[in-house]
Chains A and B, each alone.
Chain A
Amino acid sequence: MYKMQLLVCGGTGCRASASAKIVEKLNESLKAHGLDEDAQVVTTGCFGFCEKGPIVKVIPDNTFYTEVQPEDAEEIVAEHILKGRKVGRLLYENPETQEHVSDSKHMGFYQKQMRIALKNCGVIDPENIDEYIARDGYSALAQVISDLTPQQAIDLLKQSGLRGRGGAGFPTGLKWEITSKFTSDQKYVVCNADEGDPGAFMDRSILEGDPNAVIEAMAICGYCIGANKGLIYIRAEYPLAIRRLRIAIQQARDYGLLGDNILGTDFSFDMELRYGAGAFVCGEETALIASMEGNRGEPRVKPPFPAEDGYLHKPTVVNNVETFANVPVIFLKGPEWFSSIGTEKSKGTKVFALAGKINNVGLIEVPMGITLREIIYEIGGGIKNGKKFKAVQTGGPSGGCLTEKHLDTPIDFDSLVAAGSMMGSGGMIVMDEDDCMVSIAKFYLEFIVEESCGKCTPCRVGNKRMLEILEKICKGKGSMEDLDHLRNFANVIKDTALCGLGQTSPNPVLSTLDNFYDEYLAHVKDKKCYAKKCKDLATYTIIPEVCTGCTVCAKNCPVEAITGERRQPHFINQDKCIRCGVCYTKCKFNAILVQ
Chain B
Amino acid sequence: MTKIKSLDELRKRKEQLEHRMEIRDKSDHPESLVQIKVAMATCGIASGARTVMNALVEKIKKEKVPAIVTQTGCMGYCYAEPTVEVKKPGQDPIVFSYVDVKKAEEIIDKYILNNELLDGILPANYQTI
Contacts and interface: CB of A to CB of B under 8 A. Distances in A.
Q: Do A and B bind each other?
A: yes
A340 interface: no
Given A100-B129, A255-B1, A142 B10 contact: yes
A304 interface: no
A587 interface: no
Contacts of B24: 5, 7, 59, 123-124
B6 interface: yes
A61 B70 contact: yes
A98 to B, nearest CB: 15
Interface in A140-164: 142-143, 146
Interface string B101-118: 000000000000000000
Given A84-B73, A255-B4, A263 B10 contact: yes
A42 to B, nearest CB: 8
A559 interface: no
B18 to A, nearest CB: 5
Nearest to A122: B24
Interface in A557-586: none
A61 B85 CA distance: 14
Given A84-B39, A257-B4, A130 B17 contact: yes
Contacts of A61: 27, 30, 70
Nearest to A1: B57
Nearest to A99: B129
Contact of B40 (A62, A82, A123): A82
Contacts of A88: 129
Given A3-B53, A136-B14, A85 B23 contact: no
B57 A256 contact: no
Interface in B31-48: 31, 37-42, 45
Interface string B1-18: 101111101110110011
A86 interface: yes
A83 interface: yes
Interface string A50-62: 0000000001111
Contacts of B97: none
A138 interface: yes
Contacts of B37: 84
A85 B41 CA distance: 8
Given A60-B68, A82-B40, A84-B40, A131 B20 contact: yes
B5 A60 contact: no
Interface residues of A, number: 39
A139 B10 CA distance: 7
A255 B13 CA distance: 11
A324 B27 CA distance: 26
A264 interface: yes
Interface in A228-268: 251, 254-257, 263-264
Interface in A1-19: 1-5, 7
A139 B42 CA distance: 46
Contacts of B58: 1
B94 interface: no
Contact of A134 (B17, B57, B61): B17
A131 B21 contact: yes
A60 B13 contact: no
A452 interface: no
A286 interface: no
A102 interface: yes
Contacts of B69: 3, 60
B26 A60 contact: yes
Nearest to B25: A135
A142 B17 contact: no
Contacts of A5: 23-24
Contacts of B41: 83-85
Contact of A124 (B11, B18, B21, B30): B21
B93 to A, nearest CB: 14
Contacts of B31: 105
Contacts of A135: 21, 25
Given A84-B39, A264-B6, A134 B14 contact: yes
Contact of B61 (A1, A131, A139, A263): A1
A153 to B, nearest CB: 15
A492 interface: no
Most buried by A among B5, B14, B27, B40: B27
B38 to A, nearest CB: 8
Interface in B69-107: 69-73
Contact of A60 (B4, B6, B23, B72): B23
Contacts of A130: 17, 20
A133 interface: yes
A123 B20 CA distance: 11
Given A256-B3, A256-B4, A2 B10 contact: no
19 contacts: A5-B24, A61-B27, A62-B30, A84-B38, A85-B72, A85-B73, A86-B129, A88-B129, A102-B129, A105-B30, A105-B31, A123-B24, A131-B17, A131-B20, A133-B14, A139-B10, A139-B11, A139-B14, A143-B7
Interface of B: 1, 3-7, 9-11, 13-14, 17-18, 20-21, 23-27, 30-31, 37-42, 45, 53-54, 57-58, 61, 68-73, 129
